[in-house]
């Protein structure tokens, strides 16, 4: 694994956890009956919620695609390409 993947993965987790309370006490799913300070704040809340939900859906999809790709390689037995592997040391 390269350093770029590590940095990208770390940022993918750190940014949402650091910004989870950026809108203060407004509930995550932005209810209509909440007393917003100004009307546009509900739209901002909905955009934030949509962004976080899609970000997590994307990361889970990437993880599942990676598992789908790597798992068959891990489960299939590897065949020896060299037919005489056991006879190499014999003269």
- Kind and range of the H or E element at 75? helix 40-75
How many folded domains does the chain comprise?
1
| pLDDT at residue 86 in the model | 57
| pLDDT at residue 22 in the model | 80
Domain assignment present for 27: yes
41-44 contact pairs (CB < 8 A, 24+): none
| pLDDT at residue 14 in the model | 80
Q: Which domain range does residue 42 map to?
A: 3-73
pLDDT string in tens for the chain (91-residue length): 577 777 877 887 787 777 777 888 889 899 999 999 998 999 999 998 998 888 888 888 888 888 888 888 778 877 765 555 555 555 5
Domain assignment present for 54: yes
| pLDDT at residue 83 in the model | 57
Domain assignment present for 83: no
Domain assignment present for 61: yes
- The model's pTM is 0.62
Q: How far is CA 58 from CA 19, 29, 55, 62, 65, in A?
A: 18, 19, 5, 6, 10
Residue 41: name the closest of 29, 19, 26, 21 by CA.
Answer: 26
Distance of alpha carbon 60 from alpha carbon 55, whole angstroms: 9
């Amino acid at each position: 694994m390269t350093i770029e993947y590590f940095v990208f993965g770390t940022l993918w987790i750190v940014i949402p956890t650091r910004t989870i309370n950026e809108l203060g006490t407004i509930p995550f799913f932005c209810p209509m009956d909440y007393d917003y300070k100004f009307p546009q704040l509900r739209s901002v809340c909905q955009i934030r919620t949509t962004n976080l939900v899609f970000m997590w859906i994307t990361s889970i999809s990437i993880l599942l695609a990676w598992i789908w790709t790597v798992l068959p390689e891990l489960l299939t037995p590897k065949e020896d390409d060299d037919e005489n592997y056991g006879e190499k040391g014999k003269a």
